[in-house]
Amino acid sequence: MTENKIMLGHLQTIYPTLFRKVSLRDYERERITTPDNDFLDLDWLKQNSKKVVIISHGLEGNTHRAYVKGMAKAFYNDGYDVLAWNFRGCGGGMNKALRFYHSGATDDLSTVVDHAIHLGYETILLIGFSLGGNLSLKYGGERALNSKIKGIIAFSVPMHLYSCSLQLSKPSNWIYANRFLKSLKNKITEKSKVMPELMRTALREIKTLQQFDDAFTGPLHGFKDAIDYYQKCSALFFLEGIKIPTLIVNAQNDPFLSVECFPASIKNNRIKFKFPKTGGHVGFFRFLGNGLYSSESWALEFARTIRK
């Protein structure tokens, strides 16, 4: 990739994060209890629809990120109810359990989906960004899904976690890696005030995301170490099992993604791959006058083909 393409990838990643403003009515917050007596905070936009889109955010994100709100607005305006959910510890308050969230925590997504089914929705569409995209694809491929789940759409998916961790460790990505690492370390520090056993590893010794996953993400969630976690939770290894219409969109200039995130060997006719040359990481911005980013236009178009 040329230097100009690399710089464009960074620009398309950073610009929407810093400058995009989405005008959206206030969410309605609902807190639900998980099977392990923890909680998840759900943010709703409701209009008495029979169809709902469930949106999963990225690493250290939340439902107020511009990419989530932009997608929420697009689908709300298209007649959907919107359920944007916050991963454990991402909704504005620390969760109660020792565990947090991770790229393969499909038990929590299942809890959210089951809640939507219980509420009576006839059509459910899953949309995930980055980590949330990996989560949604793994969920779709590892189990038999309820017939009300009609499709999956995933953007900027680090579907091969090990190689993506190496990609993020490159000097050109230090600003992203350091930002994520600082936020994750702050959560460990906060939770350790009430759960001292969490601090078995000195945070100052952790310099990379893989070291963080070795010390915390893996062991806290039942994995031997970071490599075991990456191997068992990478969505790439679950794509063959997906049985419903699925769209995966990864930009070729995404600074977070490795070559393994653009698979050519997956032969599942339920999956449509879209690998645009540009877009950055959860960027995909364009100026067409309708307020929609490319990601939102592609998602709506795909959802409409499912409804036909």
- The answer to whether 241 and 270 are in contact (CB under 8 A) is no
The whole-angstrom separation of Cα 159 and Cα 236 is 5
pLDDT along the chain (308 residues), means of 10: 76 90 95 98 98 98 97 97 98 93 98 98 98 98 94 98 97 95 94 81 88 95 97 98 98 97 93 96 83 94 86
Question: How confident is the model at residue 197, as a pLDDT?
Answer: 77
Q: Is 72 inside a domain boundary?
A: yes
Q: Is 198 inside a domain boundary?
A: no
Q: Is 153 inside a domain boundary?
A: yes
Question: How confident is the model at residue 1, as a pLDDT?
Answer: 56
Question: How confident is the model at residue 195, as a pLDDT?
Answer: 85
Q: Is 58 inside a domain boundary?
A: yes
Q: Is 228 inside a domain boundary?
A: no
User: Crossing angle of helices 174-192/161-168, nearest 10°?
Assistant: 110
Structural Rg of the chain based on CA atoms: 18
Question: How confident is the model at residue 2, as a pLDDT?
Answer: 66
Q: Is 202 inside a domain boundary?
A: no
DSSP H or E run through 3: helix 3-19
- The answer to whether 152 and 188 are in contact (CB under 8 A) is no
Question: How confident is the model at residue 291, as a pLDDT?
Answer: 82
Domain that holds residue 90: 3-163+238-307
Q: How many structural domains does the chain have?
A: 1
CB count, 10 Å around CB of 95? Answer: 21
92 Cβ neighbours under 8 A, 6+ residues apart: 41, 62, 86
Q: Is 75 inside a domain boundary?
A: yes
The whole-angstrom separation of Cα 90 and Cα 75 is 23
Map tokens 């592609």 to a residue: 298
3-state secondary structure of 212: helix
Q: Which two tokens stand for residue 4?
A: 């100009």
Amino acid at 87: F
Question: Whose CA is closest to 20, among 294, 302, 250, 251?
Answer: 294
| CATH code where residue 243 lies | 3.40.50.1820
Amino acid at 282: V
The pTM of this model reads: 0.96
Question: How confident is the model at residue 286, as a pLDDT?
Answer: 79
Question: Whose CA is closest to 122, among 43, 52, 72?
Answer: 52
How many CA atoms lie less than 13 Å away from 10 in the CB half-sphere? 13
Q: Is 63 inside a domain boundary?
A: yes
| Backbone torsions φ then ψ of 129, nearest 5 degrees | -115, 130
Question: Whose CA is closest to 44, among 112, 142, 132?
Answer: 112
